[in-house]
Structure 1
Amino acid sequence: MTESLVERTGLPPAQGEEEHLALALANTAIALPGEQVVDLLGTPAQANDWLVGCGLAPADADLQEMCAAQLRSLREQIRSLFASRVAEVPALPAAVAAVNDAMTRVPVAPLLQWDDKTGPYRTQPHPTTAIVEHALATLAADAADLLTSADAERLTACGSTPCNRFLLRQGRRHWCSVRCGDRARAARAYARRGRAGAQ
Structure 2
Amino acid sequence: MRAMSETPTAESVLPPAPGAEDYLALDFVNSAIALPGGQFIDLLGTPEATNRWLAERGLAPADAGVQEMCATQLRSLREHVRALFAARVGGLPALPSALSAVNVALSRVPTAALLQWDEKGGPYRAAPCPANEILDHALATLAANAADLLTCPDAERLTACGSTPCNRYLLRHGRRHWCSTRCGDRARAARAYARRASSQPR
TM-score, structure 1 length as denominator? 0.88
Corresponding residue for 1:133?
A: 136
Letter in 1 for 2:42: D
1:12-37 Cα distance to aligned partner (Å, 9 max, x none): 00001010001100000000001111
Contact 1:14 1:167 in 2 (8 A): yes
Q: Could you tell me which residue of structure 2 aligns to residue 65 of structure 1? A: 68
Matched, 1:5 2:10: yes
Alignment of 1:80-119 (within 5 A): 80-107=83-110, 108-109=112-113
| Equivalent residue letter for 1:84 | A
Aligned counterparts of 1:28 and 1:174: Cα–Cα separation in 2: 19
The alpha carbon displacement at 1:198 in A equals 3.4
Distance (Å, rounded) in 1 between the aligned partners of 2:142 and 2:60: 12
Q: Moved runs in structure 1, 4+ residues, more than 4 A?
A: 108-112, 123-126
TM value normalised by structure 2: 0.87
- What is the 5 A alignment of 1:102-181? 102-107=105-110, 108-109=112-113, 127-181=130-184
Inter-partner Cα distance in structure 2 for 1:106 and 1:144: 15
**Per-residue deviation at 1:127?**
2.6
**Letter in structure 1 aligned against 2:9:** S
- 1:41-60 matches, cutoff 5 A: 41-60=44-63
Q: Which structure 1 segments of 5+ residues have no match? A: 113-122
Q: Which residue of 1 aligns with 2:189?
A: 186
Query: What residue identity is the alignment partner of 1:37?
Result: F
- Unmatched 5+ stretches in structure 2: 1-7, 117-125
What whole-Å deviation, never above 9, does each CA across 1:15-71 have from its counterpart, x for those lacking one?
A: 010100011000000000011110000000100000011111111111000111111
**Aligned counterparts of 1:48 and 1:135: Cα–Cα separation in 2:** 11
CA RMSD of aligned residues (A): 1.9
Question: Could you say if the C-alpha distance between residues 56 and 162 of structure 1 is closer, same or farther in structure 2, counting changes exceeding 3 Å?
Answer: same
1:77 partnered with 2:80: yes
Moved more, 50-59 or 156-165: 50-59
Residue of structure 1 in register with 2:119 after alignment: none
- Of 17, 20, 23, 1:17 maps to 20
CA distance in 2, matches of 1:126, 1:172: 45
Partners of 1:111 and 1:71 lie apart in 2 by 29
Deviations 1:143-189 (A, max 9, x none): 00000000000000000000000000011000000000000000000
Q: State the distance in 2 between where 1:183 and 1:50 align.
A: 28
Per-residue Cα deviation, 1:88-132 (whole angstroms, up to 9, x for no partner): 0001011001000000012345588xxxxxxxxxx9867332011
